[in-house]
Chain A
Amino acid sequence: MSYLFESEEHAALRVQARRFAADVIAPHALEWEEKGEFPREVYGATARAGMLGIGYPEDLGGAGGDITHALVAQEELVLAGKSVGTVVGLNSHAIALPPILRLGSPEQQRRFVPPVLAGEKISALAITEPGAGSDVAAIQTRAVLDGDHWVLDGSKIFITSGCRADLVTVAARTGGPGHAGLSLIVVERGTPGFGVGRKLAKMGWWASDTAELTFEDCRVPRENLLGRPGEGFVAIVKNFVSERLHIAGQCVAIAILAHRESVAWARERQAFGKPLAQMQVIRHKLAEMETRIAAARALTSEVATRFTRGEDVPALAAMAKNTATDACSFVCDQAVQIHGGYGYMRETVVERLYRDARLYPIGGGTREIMNEIIAKSERY
């Protein structure tokens, strides 16, 4: 099954993404996940295959297209590559670059965007802090203007690709308390006072590095501020729909992969004299998994279509994220169950997917925040 919005063009893109992921990611999926890292060169290879710049303008080195193209390419990377950690690591620019495109001057865009889309530089977005996650308004990291520099002090946590990032889009407080005092500043690797703390050990997404970042008297050139002081929060919020659609798409992809692995296993594994797939209890599990996937895909498809038409859909995007997250969690749990003891073993793909899946009700806005967005939007 594919998204309802797909054209022949999307089908052709799927073929390319599938071939790339099967050739470049799949042979190393287990190794990279176990090692907690994939080689830096993979960024360049992904860019050369045309997979890094999808949804970005061509004059900045992007491949053109919109979120619908990004969703299908990402799905094939997950399905054929079988390493969720690698795909999310490769995709950290999907949250780091949009604020630069939204707020950045043409000069800033030319400076920061093309090297990332060419796979030469790695980018990350740093919002979350040890004391502020969902509560973005509580961000403590400060940036104070001193001559030609912003002086940053504070720390960030859970930063995807943070260990290797060459440029980090950092949310810092340049004004008073609350949303209105937040700004976005691009901090480049090598800036004095910018420190990469430990690489955090996680439940899933192992191939993608996650860092703690520190800023101590970190002097960033004044021209690295994106937009005007105080525009940061709105720029972050404006990317939420796209980010949540990406996440919903990842969940659909992971669920499909877990389901595929389960169908293959159920056909092969014999118990009580016949394959598992011939037992009603297992067949019905598979059917229910497939149904949840279809529902999640349908809603994601609808929201993506509305979004590309220009509709403002924050609540629907929140619904799509929660629906896809639920589908993914359910399907991965059932997949482990169908695999039995093998499903609990580290070399089994569904064991990894089960761990990867647990991130999604938390990352990119928690389930609870999603519900709050929906409730507010509906004015209950």
Chain B
Amino acid sequence: MKILVPIKRVADPDNANKVKVSADGSRVTSEGLEQKVNPFDEYAVEAALRLTENGATQSREGEVVVCSVGPKDVAQTIRGALAMGAERGILVDGADDAMDANVIAAVLEKLYAQEKPDLVVLGKQQVDGDSNQVGQILAERLGLPQATFANSIELADGGKACVVGREVDGGVLRVKVGLPAVITVDLRIVGSKAIANGITPATHAYPDAPRYASLKGIMSAKKKPIAEHTIASLGVTEAPRIEYLKFELPPKRAAGVKVESVQELVEKLHSQAKVI
């Protein structure tokens, strides 16, 4: 099985409160913040690795190709995934601010045509833009079945289909998609038993988290190939369809007041807040 995993780097989500709006309100700035792989993308890499290995013997049984669109230094983000165990990488050079979900999906469509994977596994959304669109647009452009917000993936029909547990309001919806397909993953896809590939013994329990890259993995990642393209060299002519007009921070909230008694609280809720 061959899986294509698109990943993206984002400003360190643990320091999200340090993200600022530029003085003219035209963009969000994250200068000085560490860039990390988008958490949902890291789950996608982990899911793809689990789908293509024997978890008990740690032998590789398939291929995971990781791709990213962005400035040249996203190579480091790709290396991170290669260190976890992915086989090779593809870097598509492009400026961060000249892209929206539509452009990215167009790029991925070209990479799909080159690579012909059995599955495209993506994070359900980026934690910076939070658009939650790329997987869906890509599936539509490719005319492939899609299963979004996956919290479990089970290979079925002798590897010709996947049964995917989708997190939906009020529960989990199980759908079967024929391969090739596009799957976007949610946090629980890295649960210890979330992936069943028919190779890893059912008794094998993974840790409830993406794996750590070993030092050996980190060293071997340096030798793994990363192919380079540009958006233009792939023949993508799409322009962003979304234009960001203005960013502003939510208004500062005034400090609350402390009340001395329940009586006073009720009185204030009635006379000032006018909610009772």
- Chain A contact residues, CB within 8 Å of chain B: 8-9, 12-13, 15-16, 19-20, 23, 48-51, 54, 58, 63-65, 69, 73
Cβ-defined contact, A20 with B214, below 8 A: no
A4–chain B nearest beta-carbon distance, Å: 19
The one of A19, A58, A73 in contact with B216, judged by C-beta atoms closer than 8 angstroms, is: A58
**Binding site of B, secondary structure by majority: helix, strand, loop or mixed?**
helix
Residues on B with beta carbons closer than 8 Å to the beta carbon of A48: 207, 212
Complex Cα–Cα for A131 and B217 (A): 46
Residues on A with beta carbons closer than 8 Å to the beta carbon of B79: 8, 12
Complex Cα–Cα for A287 and B221 (A): 38
The one of A8, A19, A63 in contact with B215, judged by C-beta atoms closer than 8 angstroms, is: A63
Residues on A with beta carbons closer than 8 Å to the beta carbon of B209: 23
| Besides A12-B218, A15-B80, A64-B215, 20 other A-B contacts (C-beta < 8 A) | A8-B79, A9-B219, A12-B79, A12-B80, A12-B213, A13-B215, A13-B218, A16-B212, A16-B213, A16-B218, A23-B209, A48-B212, A49-B212, A50-B213, A50-B217, A51-B212, A58-B216, A63-B215, A63-B216, A69-B215
A57–chain B nearest beta-carbon distance, Å: 11
Most buried by A among B80, B83, B207, B212: B212
- Chain B contact residues, CB within 8 Å of chain A: 76, 79-80, 83, 207, 209, 212-219, 221-222
Cβ-defined contact, A65 with B222, below 8 A: no
Residues on B with beta carbons closer than 8 Å to the beta carbon of A69: 215
Cβ-defined contact, B212 with A9, below 8 A: no
Complex Cα–Cα for A9 and B215 (A): 8
Cβ-defined contact, B222 with A50, below 8 A: no
Cβ-defined contact, B214 with A63, below 8 A: yes
Complex Cα–Cα for A58 and B79 (A): 22
Cβ-defined contact, A12 with B83, below 8 A: yes
**What are 28 A-B residue pairs whose CB atoms fall within 8 Å in the complex?**
A8-B76, A8-B79, A8-B222, A9-B219, A9-B222, A12-B79, A12-B213, A12-B218, A13-B215, A13-B218, A15-B80, A16-B212, A16-B213, A19-B212, A20-B212, A23-B209, A48-B207, A50-B212, A50-B217, A51-B212, A54-B215, A58-B216, A63-B215, A63-B216, A64-B216, A65-B215, A65-B219, A69-B215
